Structure 1
Amino acid sequence: MNKTMNTGRTLLATILALFAAPAMAEEAAPEMPRWSLAIHGGAGTLDKTAMTPERRAEYEAALQAALDAGARVLAEGGSAIDAVKAAVIIMEDSPLFNAGKGAVFTWEGTNELDASIMDGRDRSAGAVAGVKTVKNPILLADTVRTQSEHVMLMGAGAEAFAVEKGFAVTPPEYFATPARREALERMKAKQLSALDVDHKFGTVGAVALDRQGNLAAATSTGGMTGKRWGRVGDAPIIGAGTYADNRSCAVSATGWGEYFIRVGVAHEICARLRARQEVLDVLAAGMETDPVVKTVEAQYFADAVMADVKQLGGDGGVILVTPEGYAIFSFNTSGMYRGRATSAGVNEVAIFGGEGKPSATPDH
């Protein structure tokens, strides 16, 4: 018993030394961002040599447009939930991403769309899966959150709900693009897997912190090329592809959904951050941890969870924003279409690994 107690005391002392001590530094911590936003447009095996300057410019412009849409909402004092919707809608409307227009085809040659959204204030959430007639699935997911007693609706039922709530019925040809159809045809002709034709997971997402200190997350996708039997990935699953909690963080994921579901990626990252804070609340009441340390912690937990995904055989990435306003990226692939903006003046988009400011560097 004494050995166990001593071990516990040592562990607690280590935690305090690592996380509480920086709060006692004489130098005041820098001012934290008043609002923060991060977006992604998919992660995967991206070949820099195959990316033409024209194609890169096209993706960067689309990412910047989404980033600007969300940042505008936050800069004008709008809510985090409205900001993530604004950013995701831009990407759903772009044929460059696997969400909304430009979604991949199922084995049967249709486009089935999934989306989810979560508000960190009250952890209210909404999600839809397998819808075929809704132009912007993220808006339907939010309507499920705000105008129903449910969290997730699927297929024909979700579409009937959409019509009841005034959504226009979007014809299937709106979503179809030649590049996505060619990918399906190549997959069938050469008996390839979805990973052979989808070099990146084009799921889109956004996470935000608003001026009121509230967090939100949103994710939208067309799934995987050639998916069958009503397959659903992590994007519409609260806790796997999307999660937001004012006490810890907001997360949106992109990647091989089956593995993200098994790990519970989005919730797992937030849970680790919240547990760490709860320990300090008990052991170091009244002490504030240096924001720089909090940023490093968030990066560490995100990287650790993504390493768990990789160990199981999955790949992809996540974006997250903390209550302190730090925008974090973590991916175990060669690249992730991504961007972030803060009230402190950060505004950047990137595609390949090693580009942009390191996530663990304070954004001010």
Structure 2
Amino acid sequence: MGGWAIAVHGGAGVDPNLPPQRQEEAKQLLTRCLNLGISALRSSLPAIDVVELVVRELESDPLFNSGRGSALTENGTVEMEASIMDGTKRRCGAVSGLTTVKNPISLARLVMDKSPHSYMAFAGAEEFARLQGVALVDNQYFITEENVGMLKLAKEANSILFDYRIPTVGLETCSAGAASVEAALQMNGLPISVYAPETVGCVVVDGEGRCAAGTSTGGLMNKMSGRIGDSPLIGAGTYAGELCGVSCTGEGEAIIRGTLARDVAAVMEYKGLGLQEAVDFVIKERLDEGMAGMIAVSRNGEVAYGFNTTGMFRGCATEDGFMEVGIWE
């Protein structure tokens, strides 16, 4: 056993021009969440509990795209999704289409623990939430003024918006119309419509070598109502087994096609790759044209991450005192 390890992410594909103040806010939130997880692990909390605890904290802060601060659908509403997986017995729970559940990750956990199912969505998931007595709030709670502005821009550009935290100053005054709005919102030289926005996630291996993973998101800005991304899909956005725990972020459609999270475990199992090797292989070989990132832990107490975007909001720590919070390469 290599001791415990934890990693968190707040999404891949960061705008290179993200103002320093926003970078600092993001790092502070990631550090706070890491410290929360570290103290829980030091108190011998099981990996699955630490994952839920940390993702709840990320959902409660409007900075990233999950829970409060979720991206808005084309109708200006919020439809959230999340999944959680306990690697020890490959138990999992997932939810989609949530509009009033304050902490989607906790409802995903209840689907795993208190229902005969693995995945519940929309009206049925909301009804299950009521029966379980979880905290419910009005949809307005999740909607931030900033996201209302970004939805307006996305509609003007007739695109699905990627980074909903790009500063909006000056963009709404584009006089040449939609084409120039879209031109102004480019990342890695590609129009933002090809990207998915940030998601949050956490992966943990505890002192007993148990791995767990969780992912939560509001999805795409200006997405069609009913769209489901990779975050709630076990094997795509989230996976945990005996060997590792993985949480992905980025372009959901590409992550789904590449069964990204499961593939990390698969190449470890079938190719005998180490954790970082497996992450690098999957990012390089399984994304085709897609853009994404991931965090991972192994049962040996290792931590790894990888991304092919400009950056990824991330933080990781291990029992031997290593700790890192970063955004860029």
Q: What is the TM-score normalised by the length of structure 1?
A: 0.80
Paired position in structure 2 for 1:270 = 265
Letter in 2 for 1:259: A
Paired position in structure 2 for 1:173 = 140
Letter in 1 for 2:30: L
Question: Aligned equivalents of 1:206 and 1:217: distance in 2?
Answer: 6
Q: 1:304 aligns with which of 281, 289, 294?
A: 281
Identify unmatched segments of 5+ residues in structure 1.
1-31, 278-293, 354-364
Paired position in structure 1 for 2:205 = 209
Question: Aligned equivalents of 2:267 and 2:196: distance in 1?
Answer: 28
SS in 2 for 1:267: helix
SS in 2 for 1:130: strand
Show structure 1 runs of 4+ deviating over 3 A.
195-200
Paired position in structure 2 for 1:261 = 256
Kindly indicate which of the two structures has a greater share of residues assigned to helix. 1
Question: Aligned equivalents of 1:121 and 1:163: distance in 2?
Answer: 29
Contact 1:116 1:218 in 2 (8 A): yes
Correspondences of 1:1-364 after superposition (within 5 Å): 33-47=2-16, 50-195=17-162, 196=185, 201-246=197-242, 248-277=243-272, 297-310=274-287, 312-353=288-329
Question: Aligned equivalents of 1:305 and 1:343: distance in 2?
Answer: 26
CA offset at residue 252 of structure 1?
0.2
Question: Aligned equivalents of 1:53 and 1:194: distance in 2?
Answer: 22
SS in 1 for 2:62: coil
Structure possessing the higher radius of gyration over alpha carbons: 1
Question: Aligned equivalents of 1:314 and 1:194: distance in 2?
Answer: 15
Q: Name the % identity.
A: 41
Identify unmatched segments of 5+ residues in structure 2.
163-184, 186-191
Question: Aligned equivalents of 2:21 and 2:61: distance in 1?
Answer: 16
Contact 1:263 1:308 in 2 (8 A): no
Letter in 2 for 1:39: V
Q: What is the TM-score normalised by the length of structure 2?
A: 0.88
Letter in 1 for 2:245: A
SS in 2 for 1:143: helix
Question: Aligned equivalents of 1:336 and 1:56: distance in 2?
Answer: 11
CA offset at residue 257 of structure 1?
0.7
Q: Deviations over 1:263-283 (max 9, x none)?
A: 100111101101245xxxxxx
Count of residue correspondences: 300
Paired position in structure 2 for 1:360 = none
